[in-house]
Copies of this chain bind each other. A is one copy, B any other.
Amino acid sequence: MPSAPPEIDAAGLIHGETGAQKLIGWTTDVGQPDGRARLFLEVDDRHANRHGVLHGGIQAMLLDSACGYTGSLHLDRAAMPQMMSLSFTTQFLAPCGRGRVMAIGRVTGGGRRTLFIDGELRDAEGRLVATGTGVYRPVARSV
Contact = CB atoms under 8 A, between A and B. Distances in A.
B88 A84 contact: no
Interface string A19-50: 11011100000000000000000001111111
A86 B114 contact: yes
A16 B139 CA distance: 34
Interface residues of A, number: 55
A3 B50 CA distance: 9
Contacts of A8: none
Nearest to A115: B93
Contact of A133 (B85, B133, B142): B133
Contact of A86 (B20, B50, B92): B92
Copies in the complex: 4
B20 A55 contact: yes
A117 B14 CA distance: 33
Given A49-B18, A51-B82, A133 B135 contact: no
Nearest to A53: B84
Interface string A49-84: 111000111101110110000000000000000101
Interface of A: 3, 6, 17-20, 22-24, 44-51, 55-58, 60-62, 64-65, 82, 84-94, 108-111, 113-114, 116, 118, 128-129, 131, 133, 135, 137, 139, 142-143
